Chain A
Amino acid sequence: MNKKEARALRRQQKKEEKWQRKYTKVAEGSRFMQWRHKRPFWGATLTVLAALLILYIPLHLYAIAMIPGSFVFVGFLFGGLILIIGVLAYIYPQFSTVFGVITIFLSVLSIMGALGGFIVGTILGIVSGSLLVAWEKQAMPAGESKRNGKKQKQLVEQETASTAQT
Chain B
Amino acid sequence: MKHENHIIVGRTWKRKFIVALLSGFLALGGLISVFGFTGTAFAMPLGGMGDFYVEFDELNGEGFKLIPEIGETGESDSEPMVRNLIDEVKIENLHIYKDLKLPGTDKWVRFHVRADGETTITGLIQDARFIDADLSFDDLQIEEKNTDDFSENWTQRADTITIEDAKLVTDYLFQEFVSLEGAKISTEMIDEPEIVDDGN
CB of A72 within 8 A of CB of B28, answer no
Q: Is B21 an interface residue (CB 8 A)?
A: yes
Instruction: Choose one: B6, B12, B16, B174; the contact of A139 (CB below 8 Å).
Output: B6
Q: Is A141 an interface residue (CB 8 A)?
A: yes
Beyond A71-B43, A134-B12, A140-B7, is A108–B31 a contact (Cβ under 8 Å)? yes
A127 closest partner in B (C-beta): B21
- CB neighbours of A127 from chain B (8 A): 21
Q: Is B20 an interface residue (CB 8 A)?
A: yes
Q: Count the A residues whose beta carbon is within 8 Å of the partner chain — how many? A: 52
**Which residues A107-164 have CB closer than 8 A to chain B?**
107-109, 111-115, 122-123, 126-127, 129-131, 133-143, 145
Q: Is B1 an interface residue (CB 8 A)?
A: no
CB of B20 within 8 A of CB of A40, answer no
Chain A contact residues: helix, strand, loop or mixed:
helix
Q: Give Cα A112 to B27, complex, Å.
A: 13
- CB neighbours of A112 from chain B (8 A): 42-43
CB of B45 within 8 A of CB of A57, answer yes
Q: Give Cα A71 to B17, complex, Å.
A: 31
Of the listed stretches A6-14, A22-30, A80-88, chain B binds A22-30
CB of A108 within 8 A of CB of B24, answer yes
Beyond A71-B42, A108-B31, A114-B43, is A138–B24 a contact (Cβ under 8 Å)? no
Q: Is A104 an interface residue (CB 8 A)?
A: yes
CB of B16 within 8 A of CB of A134, answer yes
Q: Give Cα A126 to B20, complex, Å.
A: 8
Pairs across A and B, CB under 8 Å, 6 listed: A22-B9, A27-B7, A112-B42, A137-B10, A139-B8, A140-B9
Given contacts A113-B43, A130-B17, A137-B9, 11 further A-B contacts (CB under 8 A): A22-B9, A27-B7, A61-B45, A101-B20, A105-B27, A107-B24, A133-B17, A134-B12, A134-B16, A139-B9, A141-B7
